[in-house]
Structure 1
């Protein structure tokens, strides 16, 4: 990753799919959960995408087995290979929340000349007893919100994100890129007044990473905004994930370090922070957003 000296533009590699996967919960007993999903590899998906989808399905299945679903009696939880929308729908019907991944094992095998992959996941989860705050998120390749929503980006395209919450609260945005997690909002130059800057009103669509929209945020100027431009960094295709963090109360950030002018944290410590925040804060919730970038 290369950043400008003034931290106004960040060249970042990002990735595919949008999946809402978490709800706030507090005081629930954490239980060990596990599941195994096996599917054939199809021609219209990369191995990386296939493995990620299979892991998400296995996590959903593990939660459904332990905590049940909101599907009417007599119905089954359908987890198939039809894509992101099905995964999103099914995760919202599960009565449990994934807290921590303990172990993941993948096994390839051939059956009638067709490659199959088994994903076996073990983790920790807990029951959902409180309703999450509805939050709408869009990913855009331009700042014209009506016609450039996308989940697959091209080399050198810009990234914008919109967030619209049903209730007022506070927003942070992080991105995981391979073995590093970057905090994208609050912006890199806004170390002071973060509580003021990150507060959003209800039923208002906010556009992030656009300097022209800085005035919509408390205490921000156009110079504070990091505008993001995407790159595969010389590879054919890259996959990353974005985390939209929401809380009704001010978000207590993790310990961060500065790398090339941007705040970072290791994936392990980031996951620990997510888990601890969900335990301590009844309103803390996150949305995980997957992207791809191609040459």
Structure 2
């Protein structure tokens, strides 16, 4: 029995060492929105910058001179156009939200002002995640059609290429927010989408499908209001992983799950797998 216990300890111990430490981080940011930004746009920008600020405060920045330097406009208000930090400049990465972000919405001299506070789990960047190329394509399957600006009725495709063999998943998060699984395809019972190193893929196109022609889902983006803002998450790892648990709620829509459940799933996957990379692209859909 003692030998069994010792062996079990030896098996678990390396796994414990490989798990990277995560930290709870919190940040806030006040965004002075220009006139061309809607309330939802302003809230999203404030949220993202609050997260970036939290990462910068906890882990620091790559360029020390850019450490949360803020410029002022002629009215003495923070000019959001001069916010100096970006996701590529901070030394940490956001894994998952903890609780709901809090917003304070005011108007000062006719200007929309949003203060956002947010907390989440994050970790220091180790540079172990595999880099890859992902482009959203509008109404065409070549790289020259790369765009994040769509109109009601436009078709969406995804260009993808990675330097190693691995697995990919793609999700779209709408404004409600709900997460929709775009890849693996709905009819694929494996829950995994393998890709080969160096291969160029165009997903959501039956014509260009390599091994899954009969499974391909095609996507046409629609806008129920004047304008909508969605996010597309492209997740890749050289290690096998299975998509999040989702369900079919509407036959005309992809399988879905709540944004909270999606965020928890993604956070857990990235904690376990330091080589998992994620790219989030914001897309805009206009009615006309």
Secondary structure of the structure 1 residue equivalent to 2:266: helix
Unmatched runs of 5 consecutive residues or more in structure 2: 1-17, 71-78
Question: Could you say what secondary structure the match of 1:60 adopts?
Answer: helix
Residue 57 of structure 1, CA deviation:
0.7
CA distance in 2, matches of 1:254, 1:112: 45
Distance in 1 between the 2:195 and 2:226 partners? 37
Distance 1:210 1:34, change over 3 A: same
Secondary structure of 1:121 counterpart: strand
Greater relative contact order (Cα < 8 A, sep 6+): 1
> 1:243 — aligned with what?
233
Tell me which structure has the larger Cα radius of gyration: 2
Report what 2:80 is aligned to: 81
Greater strand share, structure number = 1
Distance of 2:187 and 2:54 partners within structure 1 = 41
Deviations 1:169-217 (A, max 9, x none): 111111123243221111112214x54xx22122332101111011x2x
TM-score by length of 2: 0.81
Q: In 2 relative to 1, CA 40–146 (structure 1 residues): closer, same or farther, beyond 3 Å?
A: same
Moved over 4 A (4+): 77-80
The corresponding residue for 2:170 is: 173
Post-superposition offset of 1:248: 0.6
Is 1:45 the equivalent of 2:37?
yes
> Size of the alignment, in residue pairs?
258
RMSD across aligned C-alpha pairs, in angstroms? Answer: 2.3
Shift of the alpha carbon at 1:78?
A: 5.1
How far does the alpha carbon of each residue in 1:142-181 deviate from its partner, in whole angstroms, 9 at most, with x for none?
2241432211101111011111223221111111232432
Distance, in Å, in 2 between the alignment partners of 1:263 and 1:111 is 42
Give, in angstroms, the shift of residue 242 of structure 1: 1.4
Instruction: Give the drift of 1:107.
Output: 1.3
Matches within 5 A, 1:163-202: 163-177=160-174, 178-192=176-190, 194-195=191-192, 198-202=193-197
Contact 1:78 1:90 in 2 (8 A): no
